[in-house]
Structure 1
Amino acid sequence: MRDKATLLIMLLILCHGVAMTKGLWEIKNEDREDHGPQMPEKLFLLQNSKRVVKTDAGEMRVLESYGGRVSERRLHIGFINMEPSSLFVPQYLDSTLIVFVRSGEAKVGFIYEDELAERELKRGDVYQIPAGSAFYLLNIGKAQKLHIICSIDPSESLGIGIFQSFYIGGGAPVSVLSGFEPQILETAFNASEAELIKFFTRQHEGPIVHIGDSHVSASSLWNKFLQLKEDEKLNHLKKLVQDQEEDEDDEEKEEEKPQPSWSWRKLLESVFGDEMKKNKKDKVSHKSPHSCNLYDRKPDFKNTYGWSVALDGSDYSPLKTSGIGIYHVNLKPGSMMTPHVNPRATEYGMVVKGSGRIQIVFPNGSNAMDTHIKEGDVFFVPRYFAFCQIASKNEPLDFFGFTTSSRKNKPQFLVGATSLMKTMMGPELAAAFGVSEDTMRHILNAQHEAVILPTPWTESKQNYGNKLDLESLPTTKVVTNDDMIIGF
């Protein structure tokens, strides 16, 4: 009788433990966008998609992370798609952005140490834009769309939605300057109210605007200098100022009355500050933070069945300030990344090509999520949780993502030729499983591959050869569904 009572108590404790573990991941379903209730098998998929910007020139969508109470840090994942010859207008955010150029070419400019810093980015480049730094983003690819994946750190956010944009220029969106009283703006710009009303209400395209010849706006200052080379910009600005001053002198002679002191010089100096005064070519570009290309790096691990590459703060120093890491994994058809644990970071990943399966396990050994993933899906894995990814039988699984630590992640692989279990092999581990050391050794030595393994349905090694190479990275296509549009 006592044994039955003890067994009953143990069962109650076990059930309570499972319930408590799953309870930590209960998700509020309000504010979700057309996805219905969160299904248990989708627990670690990000599905709360929000469109934050949409114009004829492009869009930005964000997948909001809910994280749960176990996650030590949350990241939102954003997607920026821009048409050829388009501009994401100057703004600053309350969150740090780390941008990854999936396809196309871009120019990013932002205020760095009180100067305008600019960098041209190509496919595979990673770049960080600190929270609070005014920036703009320009698609410079010839007749080519620009597709960017970015991480958004909500820890610095004001808590107003996913993140908050503060637009510097524009009538639509409204500039943050428009909120000041007319007298304050007249004093700040040294301009008349009529001039300022005209100045602040000429742009109606939205946050992402066309700047090509067929979409030129008469009031757009950006059309006059953004497409110039770095060594031509200051000369062009000086010419604009000189022309304007000559026009003002002529008007003064003709009208014989005081003219408003507001001019191109006032406007340009208010935007570019000391840039015009210093007149030192290329100084901005040389001082600005460098970019780092993920595709130029050799894989950290590579075998017949796939490869993986990671980028941390020691490889790209700006990541140290944001505390974010970056990775990219490619699994050949039917291959599996063996069960492993991230001891330093939560992992956020997006399938950029192919399909497969991901399984995540709760700390108590019960199944947390086992689901099919396809191109466009975004998942996250909490720190310390064991998980594995498996490519589909007939196509690869290629995924890119961010981690919440800029230190080397050093994942702990639980199974395989270089696994944690094999390193710990000895009488203590054998005793933990209740088997002999010989049995333990026999089990652990059966697997000769490490990190990325074949599965029973993997094709023969002869079919793979040695064709895996980062130079032949896959390109992806536009994915469209009812709730999210993401271009690659």
Structure 2
Amino acid sequence: MGKKEALLILLIVAVLGNAIGIKEEEEEEWWREREEEKFGSKERFLMVDSKKVIETEAGEMRVMRGPISRILDKAMHIGFITMEPKSLFVPQYLDSTLILFVRRGDVKVGLIYKDELAERRMKGGDVFRIPAGSVFYMVNVGEGQRLEIICSIDKSESLSYGTFQSFFVAGGKYPGSVLAGFDQDTLATAFNVSYTELRRILSRQRQGPIVYISDTESPRVWSKFLQVKDKARLSKVADNNEDGEESEKNKRWSWRKLMNSIFRNENRDKSKKITRTGKSPDSYNLYDKTPDFSNAYGWSVALDETEYHPLGHSGIGVYLVNLTAGSMMAPHVNPTAAEYGIVLRGTGTIQIVYPNGTSAMNAEVTEGDVFWIPRYFPFCQIASRTGPFEFFGFTTSSRKNRPQFLAGASSIFHTLRNMEMATAFDITEDDMERLLGAQYEAIILPSAEIAPPHKEEEKKRRKEEERREAETETETEWERERERERERERRVDEVVGSFGRNLVMGFA
């Protein structure tokens, strides 16, 4: 290969390299612009896309759609379920895994777990996992109390492009049961009932996915449907071996147990209430857990797979934070997971920072608001001075989260305290020691000066700081000018002195 050809190839490579570099920069700029278009300049990390997916007289379910972003490692929706007293969320299975958190009230959750009916009676603060594809139901068993549940909706197993897809195993006209999609001959043969009985059962329900359970009207239709000709159905497996017969019997009877459990009288003797049946893992109560951190300014709780192993199947963690009025969770970074938060009580401020050190969001939030924090992005939460600030949420990792704090007595700067850090800030090591020694508290800090409501105070404070900075800058400039003047005088003196000495030497 000649020199000209080699030179031409090098030129082409250089041009292509520059083009690729420009393209990457353009893509980064395009991504940033799209992100800013998608989210408001001040509230881009708040989830505001809300959809009511269920609404009946007995309750509703609202879903906050998770953001679609390149900086988010796991897509997740947040669901809010409200059920009136003595109501039922009819049996169904979903194409998404749910992590339930009981915000308020008492609920009985039943689900098919390893071919058996498992029931759990849960109260406020309980966390429970319902796997995708598992048939479940929920009953509000609180006496005259509305049930409120917050849940994560994991889209990793979903078949749908929307929020999630329900497959109702029980229903009628509304909601429609998946049974109705089969041929009538097939269903009549499968259940060993007449066409008339089948049509009557599959056409009665019209109230929706969340319905009231009447105390006076027993569910005679379902009971009769489940009990019809049990002996005839069981006789069909008489020729099977004993193990096979037992297995098939358990599978069929698990469905019977499911329906009978839903519709049995809820006013039975209170002393005989069952809070646990079946093999399914128990729920876990966050309010009963000893705080992972606590001081005079608040407390925090984190739940991972080491303490509640069902979370490991979904790769999702749970946390709960309570800040006293005016306090703050110190600025920190989550190096292993993104974070979703739901404000349970009070008002506060969420501040998030871009990698380049500019503000990504500084927004006030109140009860019911949902926010998300990308992995690696520094952030902090600040409680209003009007009262406590409590928020609950999910993380996209079920492993133990080890946040790195950027301020406070346990910040990473205390670990990195050395000459290199002082040099990086362009300050002396004594200045670094004073900076780090000023804050005695760790993780949850007092922050009354910047706690909302603080808009007017913040404006005054900033104006005062700007005035002081301007005065300092003016004084500094004067001092620099005086120093320059002194330097000029010193040089003039040196020149004059040198000239005088030379003149005297010449005369001598």
- TM-score tier, shorter chain, comes to 0.7 to 0.9
Give the deviation of 1:458 after TM superposition. 8.5
Number of the residue aligned with 1:55: 56
Larger helix percent:
2
**Cα 1:27–1:108, aligned 2, differ >3 Å: closer, same or farther?**
farther
Number of the residue aligned with 2:436: 444
Q: Classify the secondary structure of the residue corresponding to 2:221.
A: coil
TM alignment of 1:135-174, pairs within 5 A: 135-171=136-172, 172-174=174-176
Number of the residue aligned with 2:263: none
**What is the rounded CA distance, in whole Å, between the counterparts of 2:366 and 2:216 in structure 1?**
38
**What is the rounded CA distance, in whole Å, between the counterparts of 2:203 and 2:216 in structure 1?**
21
**What is the rounded CA distance, in whole Å, between the counterparts of 1:114 and 1:46 in structure 2?**
38
**What is the rounded CA distance, in whole Å, between the counterparts of 2:92 and 2:37 in structure 1?**
33
Q: Given the alignment, which residue of 243, 255, 260 partners 1:271? A: 255
- Aligned CA-pair RMSD: 3.1
* Structure 1 contact 202–219 (Cα < 8 Å) conserved: no
**What is the rounded CA distance, in whole Å, between the counterparts of 1:324 and 1:374 in structure 2?**
24
Give the deviation of 1:269 after TM superposition. 4.2
* Structure 2 contact 108–120 (Cα < 8 Å) conserved: yes
Number of the residue aligned with 2:328: 336
**What is the rounded CA distance, in whole Å, between the counterparts of 1:66 and 1:94 in structure 2?**
19
Q: Could you report, residue by residue, the CA deviation over 1:109-158 in whole angstroms, capped at 9, with x for unpaired residues?
A: 11101111111111111110000000000111111111111110011111
* Structure 2 contact 119–277 (Cα < 8 Å) conserved: yes
* Structure 2 contact 94–167 (Cα < 8 Å) conserved: yes
Number of the residue aligned with 2:33: 23
> Aligned residues, how many?
399
Q: Given the alignment, which residue of 414, 426, 450 partners 1:434? A: 426
TM alignment of 1:96-111, pairs within 5 A: 96-111=97-112
TM-score by length of structure 2 reads: 0.73
Give the deviation of 1:20 after TM superposition. 5.5
TM alignment of 1:62-101, pairs within 5 A: 62-101=63-102
Number of the residue aligned with 1:393: 385
Give the deviation of 1:214 after TM superposition. 5.9
* Structure 1 contact 26–68 (Cα < 8 Å) conserved: no
**What is the rounded CA distance, in whole Å, between the counterparts of 2:68 and 2:418 in structure 1?**
37
Give the deviation of 1:212 after TM superposition. 2.4
Give the deviation of 1:316 after TM superposition. 0.6
Give the deviation of 1:203 after TM superposition. 1.1
**Which one-letter code corresponds to 1:79 in the other structure?**
F
**What is the rounded CA distance, in whole Å, between the counterparts of 1:208 and 1:73 in structure 2?**
30
Give the deviation of 1:332 after TM superposition. 1.0
Give the deviation of 1:284 after TM superposition. 7.9
**Cα 1:79–1:335, aligned 2, differ >3 Å: closer, same or farther?**
same
Q: Classify the secondary structure of the residue corresponding to 2:144.
A: coil
Give the deviation of 1:294 after TM superposition. 0.3
**What is the rounded CA distance, in whole Å, between the counterparts of 1:22 and 1:99 in structure 2?**
34
**Cα 1:353–1:110, aligned 2, differ >3 Å: closer, same or farther?**
same
Q: Classify the secondary structure of the residue corresponding to 1:50.
A: strand
**Cα 1:275–1:70, aligned 2, differ >3 Å: closer, same or farther?**
closer
Number of the residue aligned with 2:12: none
**Cα 1:275–1:287, aligned 2, differ >3 Å: closer, same or farther?**
farther
**Which one-letter code corresponds to 2:403 in the other structure?**
P
- 1:304 partnered with 2:281: no
Number of the residue aligned with 1:379: 371
**What is the rounded CA distance, in whole Å, between the counterparts of 1:346 and 1:273 in structure 2?**
40
**Which one-letter code corresponds to 1:42 in the other structure?**
E
**Cα 1:268–1:83, aligned 2, differ >3 Å: closer, same or farther?**
farther
Q: Given the alignment, which residue of 381, 385, 398 partners 1:406? A: 398
* More contact order relative to length (CA 8 Å, sep ≥ 6): 1
**What is the rounded CA distance, in whole Å, between the counterparts of 1:434 and 1:334 in structure 2?**
32
Q: Given the alignment, which residue of 334, 341, 349 partners 1:357? A: 349
Structure 1 alignment gaps of length 5 or more: 1-11, 29-37, 225-236, 246-264, 277-281, 460-488
Give the deviation of 1:221 after TM superposition. 4.1
**Cα 1:20–1:338, aligned 2, differ >3 Å: closer, same or farther?**
farther
**What is the rounded CA distance, in whole Å, between the counterparts of 1:336 and 1:220 in structure 2?**
54
TM alignment of 1:181-200, pairs within 5 A: 181-200=183-202
**Which one-letter code corresponds to 2:389 in the other structure?**
L
Q: Which has the larger radius of gyration?
A: 2
Give the deviation of 1:335 after TM superposition. 0.8
Give the deviation of 1:397 after TM superposition. 1.2
Q: Given the alignment, which residue of 273, 279, 283 partners 1:291? A: 283
Q: Classify the secondary structure of the residue corresponding to 1:213.
A: coil
Give the deviation of 1:283 after TM superposition. 13
Q: Could you report, residue by residue, the CA deviation over 1:145-192 in whole angstroms, capped at 9, with x for unpaired residues?
A: 111111100111112410000000111100011111222222222223
**What is the rounded CA distance, in whole Å, between the counterparts of 2:216 and 2:364 in structure 1?**
44
* Structure 1 contact 27–68 (Cα < 8 Å) conserved: no
* Structure 1 contact 333–458 (Cα < 8 Å) conserved: no
Q: Classify the secondary structure of the residue corresponding to 2:449.
A: coil
Give the deviation of 1:213 after TM superposition. 2.3
**Which one-letter code corresponds to 1:43 in the other structure?**
R
* Structure 2 contact 327–448 (Cα < 8 Å) conserved: no
* Structure 2 contact 120–275 (Cα < 8 Å) conserved: no
**What is the rounded CA distance, in whole Å, between the counterparts of 1:180 and 1:419 in structure 2?**
62
Query: Comparing 65-74 with 433-442, which one deviates more in the overlay?
Result: 433-442
Give the deviation of 1:71 after TM superposition. 0.5
* Structure 2 contact 111–134 (Cα < 8 Å) conserved: yes
**Cα 1:342–1:24, aligned 2, differ >3 Å: closer, same or farther?**
farther
Structure 2 alignment gaps of length 5 or more: 1-21, 232-248, 261-273, 452-508
Q: Classify the secondary structure of the residue corresponding to 1:443.
A: helix
Q: Given the alignment, which residue of 296, 307, 312 partners 1:320? A: 312
* Structure 2 contact 304–311 (Cα < 8 Å) conserved: yes
**Cα 1:408–1:269, aligned 2, differ >3 Å: closer, same or farther?**
closer
TM-score by length of structure 1 reads: 0.76
Query: Comparing 92-101 with 432-441, which one deviates more in the overlay?
Result: 432-441
**What is the rounded CA distance, in whole Å, between the counterparts of 2:338 and 2:214 in structure 1?**
41
**What is the rounded CA distance, in whole Å, between the counterparts of 1:430 and 1:17 in structure 2?**
36
* Structure 1 contact 67–73 (Cα < 8 Å) conserved: no
Q: Classify the secondary structure of the residue corresponding to 1:184.
A: helix
* Structure 2 contact 112–134 (Cα < 8 Å) conserved: yes
